[in-house]
Amino acid sequence: NAGVTQTPKFQVLKTGQSMTLQCAQDMNHNSMYWYRQDPGMGLRLIYYSASEGTTDKGEVPNGYNVSRLNKREFSLRLESAAPSQTSVYFCASSEPRGGTTGELFFGEGSRLTVL
Amino acid sequence: DAKTTQPPSMDCAEGRAANLPCNHSTISGNEYVYWYRQIHSQGPQYIIHGLKNNETNEMASLIITEDRKSSTLILPHATLRDTAVYYCIVRVRGGSQGNLIFGKGTKLSVKP
């Protein structure tokens, strides 16, 4: 049982390049999230998907797009990377329905550097 | 979801209890208090959650004040491996899952 898997774990981009961060969960969760964490800071929500087929903006959505490809997968795309997007990106999932703890399960993070 | 306030850092001696406070004065009646921790730069890990009663599991205890405006996470016998950033968040468990605010958390340093 892998939990939440993120790829790639490390990536270096040049300003203006595009890339997609992939996230997959095998826990049959309905909700998935993308966070970013800058040095010395807490996690800030970029986008979330409450269920398959829906996505919503979080606290810091500018410069990003997301796709909830199916129930398992939630991708984050940077169309034109900027140095300000240098960060560690975390994907998470949760099962919000009654009878569960509602806890978030996080991946190990994707470390992105934009030069 | 309501916001929380935590001290930026705390120290604790190994083997002693670590008591981490959190203020959530604007918490709503249907919001739970959740605690997570992040060891080094790994993904955050769930610790415990509660609504209004005190809770205990194998990792920690959660004490919520009667007015629910604050809570304390207790690690009864802190070890060096408990050195981490601890986040307190409040959220509705079964409702909308939007915009979960983590804040900067409390950096706990457990010292030998």
Per DSSP, the residues of B56-97 read: E-SS-EEEE-TTSSEEEEEETT--GGG-EEEEEEEEESSS--
pLDDT at B6 over 60: yes
- Read off the pLDDT band of B103 (50, 70, 90): confident
Residues of B in contact with A106 (CB under 8 A): 43-45
Percent of chain B with pLDDT over 70: 91
Choose, out of B100, B101, B104, B106, the residue to mutate when testing the contact with A (most A CBs < 10 Å).
B100
Picking from B110, B33, B51, the residue whose alpha carbon sits closest to that of residue B78 is: B110
User: What is the three-class DSSP state of A12?
Assistant: strand
Residues of B in contact with A45 (CB under 8 A): 98-101
Taking only the tens place, the pLDDT of each residue in B53-66 is 899 999 999 999 99
Give me the mean pLDDT over the A93-107 stretch.
73
The reply to whether residue B102 touches residue A104, judged by beta carbons under 8 angstroms, is no
Look at strands A10-13 and A110-114 and give their pairing.
Answer: parallel
Please report where in the chains the tokens 């939990």 appear, as a residue.
A3
Give me the mean pLDDT over the A4-25 stretch.
96
Look at strands B9-13 and B106-111 and give their pairing.
Answer: parallel
**Chain B residue with Cα closest to A61:** B99
Mean pLDDT over the full length of chain B: 90
pLDDT at B97 over 80: no
